[in-house]
């Protein structure tokens, strides 16, 4: 069974540009979560989607946004990139059914570098 | 979520059991104990979770004390690939499905 996949593996952008990160959940999972892990910092929750709806949002500015498609894959968009957005962006999925779960399965992440 | 306390680091010989302790003395009745690990530069990996009974899966065993104030994650036959930071977290409904890791325990498995 395929795990959570993310693309691209690495992304280099300049300040002010926009970045789009993609995630495909495990087959059968309807919940997708996005996290940011900056160097030396812990895991920071960004967004939770389930059944196409945004269910919860972390303490991040509105320039961090996303969506979930009918096939449950998801996209994270970061507008007006700042240097401090450089981090590993992790996507996780779980069985959802509208309730979410703490049993989350993570992808390998996208390393975003903003120069 | 209840605060958890773990040792900063531990060492284990390859092939031996690794026993990772976690204290969660303020855990409430509806909070589960979850364990994750993160190998350097990889995404976190779910290991196991439990409420009050001991649990076992293909990766590990989780022993929770009767008073639920502490727990131990057991890797029965540690391998070099088990070298990682291990996180113990107590989670209930209030967390809104968001995971937050503390400092964790750096487990180093030595040949």
Write the pLDDT tens digit of every residue in B57-107: 999 999 999 999 999 999 999 999 999 999 999 988 766 788 888 889 999
Q: Quick check: A9 contacting B, CB < 8 Å?
A: no
**Measured between CB atoms, which of A4, A43, A90 is closest to B100?**
A43
pLDDT in tens, A5-16: 999 999 999 999
Residues of B in contact with A33 (CB under 8 A): 97-99
Asked if B43 is an interface residue toward chain A (Cβ–Cβ < 8 A), one would say yes
Nearest-angstrom CA–CA distance, A69 and A50: 10
Give dist(CA B21, CA B29) in Å, integer. Answer: 20
Say yes or no: B29 contacts chain A, CB-CB below 8 A: no
| A49 shares contact with chain B (CB less than 8 Å) | no
Res A97: pLDDT: 62
pLDDT per position as a tens digit, A40-77? 788 899 999 988 999 889 999 999 999 999 999 999 99
Q: Which of B44, B91, B100 sits opposite A106 (nearest CB)?
A: B44
Q: Which helix (H) or strand (E) holds B36?
A: strand B32-38
Closest CA to A109 of A9, A31, A3, A1: A9
Q: Is residue B8 packed enough to be buried (19+ CB in 10 Å), middle (13-18) or exposed (0-12)?
A: exposed
**Contact residues, chain B, for A90 at CB < 8 Å:** 43-44
Q: Which residue of A has its CA nearest to B102?
A: A42
């Amino acid at each position: 069974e395929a795990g959570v996949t993310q693309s691209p593996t690495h992304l280099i952008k300049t300040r002010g540009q926009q970045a789009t990160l993609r995630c495909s959940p495990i087959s059968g999972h309807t919940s997708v979560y996005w996290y940011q892990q900056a160097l030396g910092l812990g895991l920071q929750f960004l967004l939770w989607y389930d059944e196409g709806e945004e269910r919860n949002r972390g303490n991040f500015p509105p320039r961090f946004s996303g969506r979930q498609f009918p096939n449950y894959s998801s996209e994270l968009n970061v507008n007006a990139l700042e240097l401090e957005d450089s981090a590993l962006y992790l996507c996780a999925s779980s069985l959802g059914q509208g309730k979410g779960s703490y049993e989350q399965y993570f992808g390998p992440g996208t390393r975003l570098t903003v120069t | 979520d209840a605060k958890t306390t773990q040792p900063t680091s531990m060492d284990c010989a390859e092939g031996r059991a690794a026993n990772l302790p976690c204290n969660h003395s303020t855990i409430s009745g509806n909070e589960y104990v979850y364990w994750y690990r993160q190998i350097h530069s990889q995404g976190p990996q779910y290991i196991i979770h439990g409420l009050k009974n001991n649990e076992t899966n293909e990766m590990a065993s989780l022993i929770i004390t009767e008073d639920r104030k502490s727990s131990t994650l057991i890797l029965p036959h540690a391998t070099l690939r088990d070298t990682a930071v291990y996180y113990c977290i107590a989670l209930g409904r209030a967390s809104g499905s968001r995971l937050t890791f503390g400092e964790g325990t750096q487990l180093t498995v030595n040949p």
